[in-house]
Structure 1
Amino acid sequence: MCAEAARTRGDPLAGTAPYGGVWILIEYRAGWPPNGFDGLDLDPGTKKLVFSAAQAVRARILLIRRHGRRTAEGAGRWAVLRHEKSGAHRQRWGTWRRDEDLADIVRALAEPGEPGLPPVVLVCAHGRHDICCSVRGRPVGRALSERWPDLVWECTHVGGDRFAANVVVAPDGVYYGALDADSSVTTVAEHLVGRVHARHLRGYTDLVPAQQAAVAALLGRFGPAGRHDYTVVATTREHDRWRIHVAGRPPHPPACHVEVRSHRTPPRRLTCRGLSMASTVVYEVTSIRVD
């Protein structure tokens, strides 16, 4: 299975979070198609409207549901979660019964949203996309739901099947991977009190992969930090090498210069459902200098 193979190979987590700052969540309690929202049998006009609006702002559409037994009756919820460049987090929530009600999402994308709401914890449990997401994701979804029932949702594919179980905290824009039930509770508990650890961190979604790897290295070297305690202030690239200047808030180092080297791996099977081999780009931190 892809997650077991990735652990055996030692595939690095840092630098693997997809880029983006807007999430559209749609509660859908029936079975999830392998391709998620794209595969739903919804009103074509409404579906096209939501998809086009999402594309315009590079939003990711995820289907969500609570863990455990569920009924298809009653209104479902939807949300637009936004992580702004300033670090502000905003959310807009609504409900839907008819397909056409989902058009409200388009209007929500044009609104600023409400600040100050607690983050949403998303656990990929999309077994029809990749079996590892179900086998490893469902136990994590159960453990986290028992601890934070109001914050936690299972969701469709978030990327990186081989890193299952994957957890995304949004709109913080933080990806964690290679979790199990115990480590997920510890990791999320620390996140919620403002302590991001390097061990299971895949990256911050407002940074490109090399920058994600640089910040993860600083967390590993100097200990956990808040989501915005490190800021990338400058990045230069020469071929496969990156120089990244990172500013830290006290008590973290105020100025760090991180060098990162990228290289491509040999072809390998990256998902359980994948029919072909593919290579990936890995970002390796080669030095850290503190001013």
Structure 2
Amino acid sequence: MMSDVLCSTLSLQAGEPLFGSAKQISVWFLLEFDGRWEAEAFKDSQLSAPVRTYLQLALNTIPHAQVLLIRQQPRLAPPGNTLFVALPREKKPALYEFHLADEDDVPALDLPALLAGDKAYDAHRRTEPLFLVCTHGRRDRCCARVGLPVYEQMAQLAGPAVWQTSHIGGHRFAANVIALPHGIIFGRVRPDSAAPLVDAYRAGMVLPQYYRGRVCYAKVAQAAEFHLRSETGITGPDALRLGSVEPADEEWVVEFRAVESGITYTLRLREAQMQIITSCGDMEPETFTQYQLINLSTAQP
């Protein structure tokens, strides 16, 4: 029966591409919570009312903001209740790390000041990479079955720099891994690919074979970036700047500029529709848009 088949298996069998599938995010609030994660982890959590109100206000007022619950098993982080605030923007992405005495200290953060880059929070800037692995089995069983072995392997490699996270979207691409501060989401990661992925990102390289997308971009730009990296071999996460994204007669024209060389790359993409079972237990497929590369041209500075 369809309900007995993992959605991640169906996606792989259907040949669904990974790229261009990441949800666009401007701010992530990553709050440690070791209690029960329901299917809607933040919405149905047992966080205190002041914390929930504070974070919900942020979600209501900041476009493309998201709250994720995180945990470590066993716990390897410094003492305190951990909160990360990630700003995965294209230029100068930032990651702030807090170890609070109690979760009720979260509302004391001056969020507008933090988002504006107030120097009062410079001491909390994290300079080392952070990795989050979705293991949210109550949202979809693929996340636990496929995600937990990847989390365990990554934790052996990178220790306290690795956390489990609640649902980030796209469980059919499990195991899903977020690499911060850049906010790159990788999919279909397996235990034997954990070390190459971690080592590459720490060395300042993006592995395109696991690339779902960089969350500062819309999905069409994510797809264009993937095609550009695949065609040129550009690997640096900061090596490209998005210029423009324009629709053109059922096609898209996307421009990127290479930071080092100044070369402008123009990509023409065509939309294609694909029907996919998105969650374990679903009986009816949903339609998703993919972006196929038609042409790539270059212009010297």
TM-score (norm 2): 0.87
User: What is the identity, as a one-letter code, of the residue corresponding to 2:288?
Assistant: T
**For each residue in 1:116-138, what CA deviation from the matched residue of structure 2 results, as whole angstroms up to 9, or x when unmatched?**
52121100000111000001100
Cα deviation digits, residues 46-97 of structure 1 (max 9, x gap): 312221123322321111111x3469xx742112122345324241413243
Partner residue, 1:50: 55
1:225 corresponds to 2:229: no
Q: Is the 8 A contact 1:246 1:257 kept in 2?
A: yes
Aligned positions of 1:148-227 closer than 5 A: 148-227=158-237
- Residue aligning to 1:290: 298
Deviates more, 1:220-229 or 1:143-152: 220-229
* 2:73 is the counterpart of 1:64: no
8 A Cα contact 1:21 1:59, kept in partner: yes
> Which residue of 2 is the match for residue 127 of structure 1?
137
Deviations along 1:180-206, one digit per CA (max 9) or x if unpaired, are 011122112101111112111001111
RMSD value, Cα:
2.1
Q: Any gaps of 5 or more consecutive residues in structure 1?
A: none
- Classify 1:76/1:274 alpha carbon distance in 2 versus 1 (closer, same or farther; 3 Å): farther
1:110 alignment partner AA: A
- Contact kept, 8 Å, 1:197 with 1:220, in 2: the verdict is no
Residue 240 of structure 1: how far off its partner (Å): 2.6
What is the number of equivalent residue pairs in this alignment?
A: 284
Matched residue of 2:208: which SS?
Answer: coil
1:25 corresponds to which residue?
30
Pairwise CA distance, 1:109 = 5.2
Q: 1:70 to 1:147 in 2, by over 3 A?
A: closer
C-alpha change, 1:242 and 1:171, in structure 2 (3 Å) is same
Letter aligned with residue 99 of structure 2 = G
CA distance in 1, matches of 2:207, 2:42: 32
Residue range with higher mean Cα deviation, 188-197 or 136-145 = 188-197
CA contact (8 A) 2:55 2:67 kept: no
2:66 is matched by which residue type in structure 1? Answer: R
Q: Contact 2:82–2:97 (CA<8 Å) still a contact in 1? A: no
Match of 1:260 among 261, 264, 269: 269
Matched, 1:270 2:274: no
Structure 1 position 102, deviation (Å): 2.9
d(CA) in 1 for partners of 2:49, 2:75: 26
- Amino acid paired to 2:162: V
Cα distance in 2 between the residues matched to 1:76 and 1:275: 40
What is the identity percentage for the equivalent residue pairs of Structure 1 and Structure 2? 24
- CA spacing shift, 1:176–1:5, aligned 2, 3 Å: same
Q: TM-score, normalised by structure 1?
A: 0.90
Return the letter of the residue paired with 1:34. Answer: A
Q: Residue 202 of structure 1 aligns to a residue in which SS?
A: strand
Counterpart CA distance in 2 for 1:275 and 1:76 is: 40
Return the alpha-carbon distance in structure 1 between the equivalents of residues 205 and 47 of structure 2: 40
Q: Tell me how far apart the structure 1 counterparts of residues 89 and 107 of structure 2 sit (CA, whole Å).
A: 23
Report if aligned partners of 1:96, 1:102 keep a CA contact under 8 Å in 2. Answer: no
